[in-house]
Amino acid sequence: MKFVISNQVVLSRVPDGPIAPYLGGFADSLIATGYTAWWIHRQVLLGASFSQWLGRKAVALQDLTSDHLTRYLQHRARRLRPRRDDHGALTHLLGFLRREGVVPEETTAVPTPSSVDQCVLAYEAYLREQRALTTATIVNYVPFVHAFLEHRFGAGVVKLSCLSAADVVNFVRHQAPRLHRKRAKLMTTALRSFLNYARFCGDVDVDLAAAVPVVPNWSMASIPRAIGPAQVRQLLASIDRRTALGRRDYAIVLLLARLGLRAGEVASLQLDDIDWKAGQLSVHGKSGYRNKLPLPADVGRAIAVYLKSGRPPSTSRSVFLRARAPVCGFQGGCTVGSIVRHRLQRSDVDAPTFGAHQFRHGLATEMLRGGASLGEIGELLGHRHPQTTMIYTKVDIQALRKLALPWPGDAR
């Protein structure tokens, strides 16, 4: 006798076991997140088999743990060939049951944080709550601060009042030779931030941040690698906009190229950030900074086409969604970077890099060559400090030659 789980799943017999009453809701959740009918049927069938095994073992839902998943799959492998995604499918089911509140969250023994860990956690909270820094910045700073405290205090108790300039200098001298120049500069920036925090807390009376050595570096030594206008046009032309995926990726590349957005800014773009009447885009920049930008007609048209005939049905407010289940917004800028890399690899474009940031550099370079001021460029790119925009003055060599003073004396 067939048993209907949902409009997309029909089993050959009535399921039993403790999970059986929840299989219909599980199937509905998979449908809502965009999984295919075949994959939904397979996950529900595996869940029904798992439920039957739990019933034979007399395992109640309140006692269900991830260890039961492993034991069941070992049992199943004795008579059926295992698949790589079996564990993931059951983990998905277990997550659904926990969200429904029928299976409790697993409690694991949390080790007592060390004195160094406690100090770092307090510093993280300061960066997040007092300084409003982004998660990416905090993630970059914390490992260096943790290493510095371990270098100075080891497994002992952290006493920031005992820190001295010699401790700071010795740590930098020990670590800097092992790091790339950019990483070494990031390390010194993180240390200055932490030492300013220590002074803010009142644990340090002197300005130890001033004792952090400067990593040798020629000012503005590297020129940003920028993609050219012809390369951008070639890349856009290579994207097949007849497909939903193509319409999404075309809109993303156009946003990067025309507005110079960062990959993370594109990923975090929400439907409410687009003001269609005013023709404006509200961009969530670094440190929570919001910047309103004009929405070019071609960019707005590309986004509208994607929203109308490319974006999967979803309750998510993110503009751009994953093309494969689970259908949801991007987790971060890395997804946008992967899309750019994939599109460049499939095209014949000879781009400077495979990254998304080259579009930002390309826009700034063309604006500079078109006569835009550094202030205008910085405003569009969302730079909060003029020094950040100064790097682009090295790009337009011809314009710089016009500013060069003649060599004193007669020309020879």
- The catalytic residues are 262, 286, 357, 360, 383, 392
Three-state DSSP class for residue 293: strand
Q: How far apart are the first and last CA of the chain?
A: 101
CB atoms within 10 A of CB 30: 26
With beta carbons less than 8 A apart as the criterion, state whether 84 and 121 touch.
no
- Tell me the two tokens of residue 109: 């023994």
Angle between helices 135-153 and 165-175 (to 10 degrees): 110
Characterize 250-266 residue by residue with b for buried, 16 or more Cβ atoms within 10 angstroms of its Cβ, and e for exposed.
Answer: bbbbbbbbbbbbbbbbb
Cα separation, 378 vs 289, in Å, equals 14
Residue in 94, 89, 75, 106 with CA at minimum distance from that of residue 22: 94
- Kindly report the CA angle at 210 between 207 and 213, in degrees rounded to 5? 145
Characterize 105-128 residue by residue with b for buried, 16 or more Cβ atoms within 10 angstroms of its Cβ, and e for exposed.
Answer: eeeeeeeeebebeebbeebbebbe
Cα separation, 2 vs 411, in Å, equals 97
* Count of helices and strands (H, E) across the chain: 17, 5
